[in-house]
Amino acid sequence: MAATPPGRSPPQPPGLRETVARHRLAPRKSLGQHFLLDPALCARIAALAGDLAGRQVLEVGPGPGGLTRALLATAAARVVAVELDPRAVAALAELAAAHPGRLQVIEGDALTMDPAALLPGPEPRRIVANLPYNVATPLLLRWLRGAAALEGMTLMFQQEVAERLVAAPGTAAYGRLGVLAQWRCAEVRVLLRLPPGAFTPPPRVWSAVVGLVPRPEDPGPALFAAMERLTAAAFGQRRKMLRGALRTLGGAEALLAAAGIAGERRAETLTVAEFDRLARALLARDGAAAAGRPFSAAGRRARAP
């Protein structure tokens, strides 16, 4: 990005609503777009992300740039905005010109991008985004795989998804998504709930901002894959006892015995720590099978982190 000549101020971008009108940014349902156009609300969400001083921030789905402007108003070192809609990319170019060196706009699909690669350098990385509803869950799952490289995530979801993320064992909302999020993050909590009228156009449901603080330990791709397989099987047939629900993984009884978990329990009763034990037992069993070694429940009970 070209630097502003000495003595000359960067060009000022038009107002947010003027930007929407100039670039004909009518929200598109196919892209899951629901724009945040209230500057005070955008500033509040940016504040919920905590102190961004010296941080690199990734924003996905910025649209016309309401939240982007709020992030640039903080002391963040750099903001990278990934946008799939070429209309919004053109609108954001005006904002980037007003903040030379601080805002980078990338046109593309965030589902194919690695946050750590987008935010190189020694500065801590955070993700702050009003996520497009139609890709919010797959995006989160992708980011959880590399969560050890992130300092935090402040993300907007449909309220139903947010409730699943923070759900406790034994509740109706507790499931695969909550287990994976709480396994990889030391803190997962709802920070703010928003009515449909906060967005343009209003969605049919309430939304919620969720704050996630990743654990610094990286379980590695093999253990993460084992946890994904385990939770998919366990909650895929959640009304069944675990000895039946985990039958698709093979050797369910030995697997449960290795983790010290009774086969008559159901998935929604297990804590995240118990799922961790099961995932480690599954990984150990698969590793033993690949090496041609026998797998035994004896001595295989892995400790939770």
Query: What pLDDT sits at residue 6?
Result: 54
Q: 164, 191 in Cβ contact below 8 A?
A: no
* Final residue belonging to a domain, choices 194, 214, 234: 214
Q: Tell me, yes or no, whether 5 lies in a domain.
A: no
**Same structural domain, 96 and 224:** no
Q: Tell me, yes or no, whether 303 lies in a domain.
A: no
Query: What pLDDT sits at residue 121?
Result: 80
**Torsion sign across C-alpha atoms 66, 68, 72, 75:** positive
Q: pLDDT tens per residue, the chain (305 residues)?
A: 444 455 556 667 777 888 878 878 878 888 888 899 999 999 999 999 999 999 999 999 999 999 999 999 999 999 999 999 999 999 999 999 999 999 999 999 999 999 999 999 899 999 999 999 899 999 999 999 999 999 999 999 999 999 999 999 999 999 999 999 999 999 999 999 999 999 999 999 999 999 999 999 999 999 999 999 999 999 998 889 999 999 999 999 999 999 999 999 999 999 999 999 999 999 999 987 776 676 665 444 444 44
Paired with 152 in beta bridges are 126
Q: Tell me, yes or no, whether 11 lies in a domain.
A: no
Using DSSP bridges, classify how beta strands 78-83 and 56-60 pair: parallel, antiparallel or unpaired: parallel
Residue 109 annotated as binding site? yes
Residue 130 annotated as binding site? yes
Q: What is the largest CA-CA distance in the chain?
A: 74
Q: 37, 64 in Cβ contact below 8 A?
A: yes
* Domain limits for position 267: 220-290
**Same structural domain, 70 and 156:** yes
CA distance 292 to 185: 34
CA distance 26 to 265: 50
Burial track 33-61 (b if 16+ CB lie within 10 A, e otherwise): bbbbbeeebbbebbeebbebeebbbbbbb
The structural domain count of the chain equals: 2
**Same structural domain, 170 and 285:** no
Tokens 């990385």 -> residue: 125
**Same structural domain, 194 and 85:** yes
CA distance 279 to 258: 10
**Same structural domain, 102 and 132:** yes
Query: What pLDDT sits at residue 301?
Result: 45
CA distance 247 to 170: 22
Residue 61 annotated as binding site? yes
Query: What pLDDT sits at residue 26?
Result: 79
